[in-house]
Structure 1
């Protein structure tokens, strides 16, 4: 008969802190035994933490003890989708620039973790050869991150901040307010006279896509109107164009700048003038716009600031002398609007008798 047992799950520093009635930062200082830091902790507090540790048979990760969060000033960047393909660069280029600038000013070096294999277009930070604990903490980037992965990150007691809003409770993040930005553009189109609205979204259930959709639908619901919505296949813009024309919408809200450019080209092929015959509003800002590209009316997410604020938040979480309140671990930035030249009043529509208003 086998006497083997499942390995005992290691208690986390967060759980130790809760049992000892101290902060997680205090537990970290005790576990890592730095004389300079321990001198600031009352002996009674230190003894209480050590008693909980002995009772729980806690053994600190030796790599984490020697490397993570103790003055080596290394911040990891983990991307759940490849960061460098052309399709991803619109998002990642300025974001990484913001992270780099903040790292320089705060005295951090950056580690980009790339060894995780890509499976079905995604990675996992928990792959067998993960070296994420070489860093003090990590920024997580990705349109979609499974809630199970984020919950597991919290359980590991490893400091991290996600770039982008997440529904998973207890996740520190810095995000962009796409709901308000999208709703504001819908109101501008409504005030310009548009009554036929279509949304061509990215085929994703990530929070940023859902936030744009919420802004679109909620703003129209305020006027008692429902817009048409399509998840675009980026490899088949022609079908998306046919769908758009079938809706008879006078204004198209497009999530992806690349899709918007494709639709603009389709319009030109058919002699449809933008914005005279069809207005196009883009819900993102291309980071590599060419001079000959249309000047789209668009949302302009502050990507560079987004990256900088995410790293700044992580640096505060890492600081053992700083207590970051839970409510301060979720930051949402306003999304600017670039007026552009692709939103205009629609042509006067004929009434039911086919007569155009004078």
Structure 2
């Protein structure tokens, strides 16, 4: 079966009843001597949508050659600028490996629309095509997933930093092995003598959260609620039920737990133990001393660049998924099973 012919600017011009020069002007936004009224512009955009036309901006600029530019696109509202930001180490790894591979980086910032919502397609044009391929990161909703599935179907090489499942299931990504890391922490608590566990999790269905829960599966109770909804009454009920080990999905729960312990005169690990499943989400002045695991964020950024560059150079086939191990970090929040009941929880 012959490959479907790519839709060209000429096809769009014929459908819209305009010249190719007008189509090109609509795509670039640079009018110059050509002035286009809004009605004509909308007719061109409608023809593009009807024909499924995707402009190859990089090819337009470089006559079909490689730009040696990698795009970086985030679904977060802004790019991280502080070293304390959770996403900053990913960018450090990306920049380091891109430089080593002799590729430039392009941060996509024109993709922000109303309400700080980021979208790849704006005005009918896919801005990612400025680069040879794109690295993506950040929180995604269902509309984002469908949009990214369209990008992949159109043939633009992408690698996501973090496991993400999209319609069609053919996205390449680099993730951390949250399941194994969570299981290691639970096994560590078990070795310390703990048998009554509770897992505090936010009620979201992002893949990283699901992977953590898979590592905890079958151990004990799981409470899904927002950190702000976790109250001292919840905490006291769990203590009265005999819970001695808390598995916390993130540091937001850890801060609440620490506050309740202080109010009740409790101490970890004397009275209970808790572990935190990953690095702090907020900006910390110093690394917390609780027991947790470190996410290989810099290495995930580096590996994502290696995958994308390898694909662009014809060495790696897509889709490709890579999982990197986390590093266990033992701290001062875990200890042997307490030998007495929590009278403070009454």
Q: Same fold (TM over 0.5)?
A: yes
Distance 1:211 1:59, change over 3 A: closer
Show the 5 A alignment for 1:105-124: 105-117=100-112, 122-124=117-119
1:180 has 2:171 as partner:
no
The separation in 1 between residues aligned to 2:86 and 2:108, in whole angstroms, is 18
Q: Is the 8 A contact 2:71 2:105 kept in 1?
A: yes
| CA deviation map 1:104-129 (0-9, x unaligned) | 11122212212223667753222336
Alignment CA distance shift 1:151-1:341 (3 Å)? same
Shift of 1:204: 1.9
Tell me, yes or no, if structure 1 residue 72 matches structure 2 residue 67.
yes
Q: Deviations over 1:295-325 (max 9, x none)?
A: 0100111000000100111111111xx2423
> How many equivalent residue pairs?
287
Q: Are the counterparts in 2 of residues 70 and 136 from structure 1 also a CA contact under 8 Å? A: no
Q: Is the 8 A contact 1:82 1:88 kept in 2?
A: no
The verdict on how the C-alpha distance between 1:59 and 1:212 changes in structure 2, with shifts beyond 3 A counting, is closer
Deviation of 1:64 after TM superposition, in Å, equals: 3.6
Question: In the aligned structure 2, how far is the partner of 1:58 from the partner of 1:151?
Answer: 14
Kindly state the Cα deviation for residue 71 of structure 1 after the two structures are TM-superposed. 3.3
* Match in the other structure for 1:155: 153
Contact 1:143-1:208 at 8 Å conserved across structures: no
| Contact 1:115/1:130, CA 8 A, preserved across alignment | no
Of 60-69 and 172-181, the range deviating more from structure 2? 60-69
3-state SS, counterpart of residue 161 of structure 1: strand
Asked whether the equivalents of residues 162 and 172 of structure 1 are also in contact (C-alpha less than 8 Å), the reply is yes
Take 1:205 and 1:306, find their aligned partners in 2: how far apart are those partners? 21
Deviation at 1:134, TM superposition (A): 1.3
**TM norm structure 1:** 0.71
1:201 and 2:201 aligned:
yes
Alignment correspondent of 2:127? 131
Measure the CA separation in 1 of the matches of 2:275 and 2:258: 11
Task: Select which of 311, 317, 339 maps to 1:348.
Answer: 339
* Mapped partners of 2:258, 2:200: distance in 1: 13
> Do the aligned residues in 1 keep the contact of 2:55 with 2:126 (CA within 8 Å)?
no
Check conservation: 1:74, 1:136, Cα contact below 8 A.
Answer: yes
Structure 1 vs Structure 2 CA RMSD: 3.2
Q: 1:84 to 1:159 in 2, by over 3 A?
A: closer
Residue 262 to residue 161, structure 1, CA distance change in 2 (3 Å): same
The answer on whether the counterparts of 1:90 and 1:286 sit within 8 Å (CA) in structure 2 is no
Of 293, 299, 305, which residue of structure 2 is paired with 1:299? 293
| Cα-to-partner distance string for 1:182-211 (whole Å, 9 max, x where unaligned) | 011111111111122122223421100111
CA distance in 2, matches of 1:174, 1:204: 21
Deviating more after overlay: 254-263 vs 82-91: 82-91
In structure 2, how many angstroms separate the alpha carbons of the residues matched to 1:256 and 1:137? 32
TM alignment of 1:233-312, pairs within 5 A: 233=227, 236=228, 239-248=230-239, 249-286=243-280, 288-291=283-286, 294-312=288-306
Distance 1:186 1:173, change over 3 A: same
Q: Please, which runs of 5 or more residues in structure 2 have no aligned partner?
A: 8-50
Assess, with a 3 A threshold, how the Cα gap between structure 1 residues 212 and 88 changes in structure 2: closer, same or farther. farther
Gaps of 5+ in 1: 1-8, 13-56, 221-225
Pair 189,72 (structure 1): closer, same or farther in 2 beyond 3 Å: same
Paired residue secondary structure (1:332): strand
Partner of 1:171: 171
CA deviation after TM superposition for structure 1 residue 181, in Å:
0.6
